[in-house]
Amino acid sequence: MAGFGSSVWLRSLRPFFSAPAKSQITPLAVRFRNINTTSALLKDRDDDDDSAKGWFSRLKKTPQPEQSHSMALSSKETVYEIQFHAVKPEYMEEYLNQFSTFQQLMQDKGTGAELVGSFTVEIGEQDEAVHIWRYDGGYPVLNNANTIYRTDSDFREFRKQRNAMLRSRRNQIMLAFSFWPPIQPRPPSNIYELRSYTLKPGTMYEWGNCWAKGIKFRQTNNEPVAGFFTQIGNLYCVEHIWAYKDLQTRKETREAAWTRPGWDECVAYTVALTRSLQNRILTPTPFSPLQ
């Protein structure tokens, strides 16, 4: 009986011995499932991160050109000059009358310089005039124009009178971005916005690459006029000129751009390349080809 009792007693303990064995297997299975789930979650997270980076990470990988930025971004043998003249308030009318005569003299004397835009500042730096000249043929034409301007007696007299009416003046030599439409005369009546960007050094090519895609979002009302980047003067500068019927049209046109997929990406990326931005609202002078 003692043996029988021992046997029964051992059988009664079997569930207690088998349970731990089962419990040891279950956690391992759970662990393996957790590893698989974690791997899937990490993959999903990586996919989400890649999606979140999206266009930004791709743009950061923009290949650099194997030539100078100016050759990569501008395809024309044409240089432009933009002039900023700060006029004494009491002389503005006289200054504009004199400048009208001056720009005609530049044509009559065969300088090769062509006035493509002339404005006064409506909102921004008050009592300021902005003039844009084109030199088809590049630097040789610019050099010829400067030589005539410095040596001709009529121009020497002009400078004496003009300088007495100015508080300060400066200029920049620029190239036009090849992906902007060519600057053309416009009929009345428009206001113009000049947006002046100072970029971080070394980012001009990235700027151009992004705007080459972004310009298509800003052509609803034929608003692009000109896009330039500096070659001589304040470097790493970009000048964009836009035309609008009035300030309300400007507001509506700019707001409409945000409804087009891709414009927000262009803005977000180029903001990171920018050190500063200044804009001016301009009104054309009576003799400006851009009206």
The enclosing domain of 143 has a CATH number of 3.30.70.100
Q: How far apart are CA 35 and CA 30, in angstroms?
A: 9
Q: Partners of 239 in the beta sheet?
A: 196, 228
Nearest to 227 by CA among 205, 208, 209: 208
Q: How confident is the model at residue 276 (pLDDT cuts 50, 70, 90)?
A: very high
The string of pLDDT tens digits covering residues 110-132 is: 999 999 999 999 999 999 999 99
> Which residues span the domain enclosing 223?
75-284
224 within a domain of the structure (yes/no): yes
Closest listed residue to residue 240, CA positions, set 285, 270, 203: 270
Average pLDDT over residues 184-207: 96
* CA–CA dist 80, 92 (Å, integer): 24
- Secondary structure letter of residue 141 according to DSSP: H
Residue 213 has pLDDT above 60, yes or no: yes
Provide CB contacts within 8 A for 74, sequence distance 6+. 175, 176, 177, 178, 229
Q: Which residue has the higher pLDDT, 37 or 154?
A: 154
The two tokens of residue 129 are 């005039």
Residue 221 belongs to some domain of the structure? yes
Q: What is the dihedral of CA 13, 14, 18, 20, to 10 degrees?
A: 10
Give start and end residues of each alpha helix (H) in 76-202.
92-108, 139-151, 153-163
Tell me which of 65 and 20 has the higher pLDDT. Answer: 65
Q: Taking all residues of the chain, what is their mean pLDDT, rounded to a whole number?
A: 83
The predicted pLDDT at position 65 comes to 52
Domain assignment present for 82: yes
Is it the case that residue 163 has pLDDT exceeding 80?
Answer: yes
Please tell me the total count of domains within the chain.
1
Q: Is residue 124 part of a domain?
A: yes
In a domain, 161, yes or no: yes
Over the stretch 14-42, which tens digit does the pLDDT of each residue have?
444 444 444 444 443 333 334 344 444 33
Residue 63 lies in a domain: no
220 is a domain residue: yes
Q: What CA–CA distance (Å, rounded) separates 145 from 152?
A: 11
- 240 falls within a domain: yes
